[in-house]
Amino acid sequence: MERYIGCEISKVPLSNIAQRIMTALQSIPVEAQTNRENNQSIEKTKKNKLGDKDAHLRNEKEDCDSRIAILKTTVSPEKRTAGQIVRTVHMDKILGCQDTKILSCYQDSGFPKWECQEKSLSVEEKNLQDEENKIAISLKRKPDVPTSCSEKTRRMHANTYMFLYERSCTPGQIKSSGKYPCDISSLECEEKSKLLATIEQAAAFVTTMIFQDGSSQLNSEQASTSSVKGVVVLVKNQTDQPCSPGHTSTGYTWNAANENDKLIYLKTEQSSLWEQEQAHKKFSWQVLFQMLQCKVPIICFNAKDFLRTLLQIYGNEISWKQVANSVVLDPRIAAWLINPSDTVPSFECLIQKYFEKPFSKGAENTDTDALRNISYQNLGVNLEKLYNVMMDLAHGLKAQGLWNLFCTLELPLIKILAVMETHKIYVDKQELKKTSEILGLRLKELEREAHEVAGERFLLTSSCQLREVLFDKLKLHTLCEKLQRTEIQQLVSTSEVVLNKLQDLHPLPKIILEYRQVHKMKSTYVDGLRTCMKKGFISSTWNQTGTVTGRLSAKHPNIQGISKHPVTIAKKQYIKGKEEDIITISPRTLFVSKKGCTFLAADFSHIELRILADLSSEPELLKLFQEPEITDIFATLASQWKGIPSEQVKHADREQAKRIVYSVVYGAGKERLADCLGITPVQASQFIESFMQKYKKVHEFTKKTIEQCRNKGYVVSIMGRKRPLANINAQDYKLRTQAERQAVNFVVQGSAADLCKMAMVKIFASIVISPTLTARLIAQIHDELLFEVEDSQIQEFSALVKRIMESLQQTTALEVPLKVPLKVILTTGKSWGCMTELQEM
């Protein structure tokens, strides 16, 4: 089977790359330690401190001697690692170490500092000579670890408080002290070269960003407003036999499981303009850039945020096209593919699931520095766990047949969304202010009208007060058939559906409907934009795992929710004899292209209906899309359904046909359809039944999909995306029928999402490999892709987009080509709300 990945998706088979990723995704064994041993030794240490002051002084001396012993420890330069600090060492090698010293590094990194007096060195040398024939040195914690503790526990305690950075024993050797990362800003030139050579030979990188508040990307409670301080990278240089996930404890201290692995810290924040500071930032970028170009996996939890941050910090040093060549793996995306109902999987949850032990956050502590140090000391072990989790998830993806989907769609999308979030979409601030004022005036007018017709003042946004006016005072519910009620208190609802039924009985419901529409537009899509704007532009945050169907979602702002349908407002005139002004407002007009560029929108025409026709093989539906002369799909559909000539089809007929089709696609029941069409549930049920009788293959498709879901427990999209549905065999009728509708909905809508994502990946790849194209994908509104294109490239790029999107009918990512052609409608404009269709040249 051909597989594809990255920017060369249209040309390069994935099989070799996928194999390389799988080879790199090998876990490493780590030595587990238990929290119980930690707690016991700490308790006993406290008793020693309280009960014997002299013992405490002896302990300090022994601890200092132990740390110096560590400094004297060395092995051959090729094999020396931080992990060997806690291992037994031979005395002849210890005595051979020359010019050992303790460095005060991490000055601005927030890492803890330790010092040791020079005079202790001679004492330790004497002790070493006296103990020359001993095989090993027992490392002791400060304060003293009781003698009853095991040797393993002693080593762990020594490493817990030790924070040393060794460099002089073996020139050029890069060390990560104990469980703390090595700050690369402290390295000499030779050591920097050694580090770059290590990175070039790396098998994989496991990384996370560190924030100013001391948290990392692995913390679920990490504040989104906290700026990035640096990056910690676990450099994997060899693949070993995996350890058992259930064996790994959350309480152990990190030591390199492989002697060539490195844990490094790269500072990204800039605290001064000093030349040395600039040199550190430049080298950090050199390391990160080499990681991106290595073509080996970069494993990161929330990898999109990591790539976006690199582009924001180092935007002057790198082009967004260069990021497209990297290979990033995100365990969060993999976990969501396996279980799409968990749309926000956290690192803690993954650890709980794959390591079979609860995630330990440590004891409560209000000391900021202490908390920060605890966070840093856990980074090594957590990155090791992240590596192991990614390996397990990769095997899970392959076992469930999701590996190809992961590599083909979801991995490239990480880079695409990161690049999208760095692009600025400009907002017309003057138009924004003007629109807000117009909507505000209209809200006040509607409020006055509502009070007037109600005969009293009340809060229009309060459902409780509105219910009192509509039903307690005006008694409108007595003039209408059964109305919807709230689920909990069983009160008559004030929803849009109910107000639509009441609007012909009294003027108030109609006023409330318009008020809600205008209020939502003003608060969400006009004034709401201001909170998301930065210096006149916005950039949405995209969520790859936000839905169970595979669709993307956006926030800050939710650009997908901005309707393309304008709102018409009657602006009253207070000059006698002057007619009202009719103003049309569309929030999309607020978004404007930058100078020298034009918006290009590419919209899949009736994509879900086409997929329904393909999956059901319904002859009448296939005919709709295979005959190019048919322009109004839903009018023709209504003509087929009701058996009337096309010229006699009314707007109501067309709307009914459209709603019924989408009730099948979106899994809406008869009640929902009745509300949309303003008819009774009985009538809606009759409409659905007659539609299914006309299009029998559609009915067979829905039954077959539901039956397969009952047998397997899940449904699958055309590209292999899966959705488990636990309630498909539920005894409860409501739960079971809901799962049945979700099954049909997922197959159609999930398949449409797959095709739209594939279009994004292929177009992005074409831009990346082009030496001239500069177009940027700035938004995805479900079936529509929005680009910002240089004016001089509109014709060339629009032809490319149309060709790629319509060619997906024959894409090799599908087992068989689609039976219906895909049609793409292109529109262009300087404002997103004023787009005109682009005619083919």
Looking at residue 599, what is its pLDDT? 98
Q: Are residues 405 and 434 in the same domain?
A: no
H or E element, residue 193: helix 189-200
Mean pLDDT of the chain: 76
The reply to whether 686 falls in a domain is: no
Q: Are residues 78 and 105 in the same domain?
A: yes
Read off the pLDDT band of 569 (50, 70, 90): confident
Q: Sheet with 262-267: list strands edge to edge.
A: 182-183, 262-267, 228-236, 204-211, 298-300, 328-329
Query: Among 330-344, 557-571, 694-708, 827-841, which is the least confidently predicted range?
Result: 557-571
Domain boundary among 586, 616, 649: 586
Backbone angles phi, psi at 255, to 5 degrees: -140, 150
pLDDT tens track for 580-606: 678 888 899 999 999 999 999 999 999
pLDDT of residue 419 exceeding 80, the answer is: yes
Q: Are residues 351 and 442 in the same domain?
A: no
Q: Are 805 and 797 in contact (CB under 8 A)?
A: no
Domain boundary among 421, 456, 491: 421
Looking at residue 665, what is its pLDDT? 74
Looking at residue 619, what is its pLDDT? 92
pLDDT of residue 802 exceeding 90, the answer is: yes
Q: What CATH number does residue 268 fall under?
A: 3.30.420.10
Looking at residue 375, what is its pLDDT? 53
Read off the pLDDT band of 453 (50, 70, 90): very high
Burial of 49 (0-12, 13-18, 19+ CB in 10 A): middle
pLDDT of residue 729 exceeding 60, the answer is: yes
Q: In 3-state terms, what secondary structure has residue 307?
A: helix
Looking at residue 329, what is its pLDDT? 96
Looking at residue 450, what is its pLDDT? 94
Region 776-804: mean pLDDT is 96
Read off the pLDDT band of 143 (50, 70, 90): very low
Region 199-203: mean pLDDT is 91
Q: Where are the alpha helices (DSSP H) in 588-732?
A: 607-616, 619-626, 633-642, 651-665, 670-677, 681-694, 696-712
pLDDT of residue 757 exceeding 90, the answer is: yes
Q: Are residues 42 and 142 in the same domain?
A: yes
Q: What CATH number does residue 497 fall under?
A: 1.20.1060.10
Q: Are residues 257 and 348 in the same domain?
A: yes
Read off the pLDDT band of 342 (50, 70, 90): confident
Backbone angles phi, psi at 185, to 5 degrees: -70, -15
The reply to whether 142 falls in a domain is: yes
Q: How does strand 597-604 pair with strand 784-790?
A: antiparallel
Looking at residue 275, what is its pLDDT? 64
Which sign does the torsion angle of CA 6, 12, 14, 18 carry?
A: negative
The reply to whether 709 falls in a domain is: no
Question: Which residue did the predictor score with more confidence, 732 or 691?
Answer: 732
Looking at residue 519, what is its pLDDT? 93
Q: Are residues 481 and 394 in the same domain?
A: no
Q: How many CB atoms are located within 10 Å of the residue 121 CB?
A: 18
Instruction: Report which listed range, 3-12, 213-222, 360-369, 416-425, is most confident.
Output: 416-425
What share of the chain in percent tops pLDDT 90? Answer: 44
The reply to whether 443 falls in a domain is: yes
The reply to whether 566 falls in a domain is: yes
Looking at residue 594, what is its pLDDT? 94
The closest of 370, 367, 350 to 250, measured between CA atoms, is: 350
pLDDT tens track for 74-119: 333 333 333 333 333 332 332 233 333 222 332 333 333 323 333 3
Looking at residue 655, what is its pLDDT? 84
Question: Which residue did the predictor score with more confidence, 421 or 126?
Answer: 421
Domain boundary among 542, 568, 586: 586
Looking at residue 650, what is its pLDDT? 87
Region 132-146: mean pLDDT is 35
Read off the pLDDT band of 686 (50, 70, 90): confident
Question: Which residue did the predictor score with more confidence, 840 or 128?
Answer: 840
Residue 451: which domain range?
425-586
- Model's pTM, two decimal places? 0.77
The closest of 532, 321, 305 to 425, measured between CA atoms, is: 532
Q: Are residues 217 and 347 in the same domain?
A: yes
H or E element, residue 200: helix 189-200
H or E element, residue 559: none
Q: Are residues 519 and 438 in the same domain?
A: yes
Quick one: tokens of 495? 């929803």
Q: Are residues 293 and 406 in the same domain?
A: yes
Please write down the HEC assignment for all residues of 725-757. Answer: CHHHHCCCHHHHHHHHHHHHHHHHHHHHHHHHH
Q: Are residues 286 and 415 in the same domain?
A: yes
Rg of the chain's alpha carbons, rounded to an integer?
A: 33
The reply to whether 609 falls in a domain is: no
Instruction: Report which listed range, 40-44, 340-344, 361-365, 752-756, is most confident.
Output: 752-756
The reply to whether 306 falls in a domain is: yes
Looking at residue 825, what is its pLDDT? 95
* Dist. CA 675–CA 496, nearest whole Å: 9
The reply to whether 793 falls in a domain is: no
| Local structure of residue 38 (DSSP, 8 states) | H
Q: Are residues 149 and 280 in the same domain?
A: yes
pLDDT tens track for 454-474: 999 999 999 999 999 999 999
| Local structure of residue 593 (DSSP, 8 states) | P
Region 371-397: mean pLDDT is 81
pLDDT tens track for 502-551: 888 999 999 999 999 999 999 988 998 988 998 889 999 999 999 999 99
In the block, tokens 């970028």 appear at 285
Looking at residue 23, what is its pLDDT? 54
Region 263-290: mean pLDDT is 81
Per the structure, the count of domains in the chain is: 2
Find out whether the peptide bond into 143 is cis, omega within 30 degrees of 0: yes
* Dist. CA 720–CA 710, nearest whole Å: 18
What share of the chain in percent tops pLDDT 70? Answer: 70
Q: Are residues 368 and 436 in the same domain?
A: no
Work out the angle at residue 492's Cα, subtended by the Cα atoms of residues 489 and 493, and round it to the nearest 5 degrees.
95
Region 645-666: mean pLDDT is 83
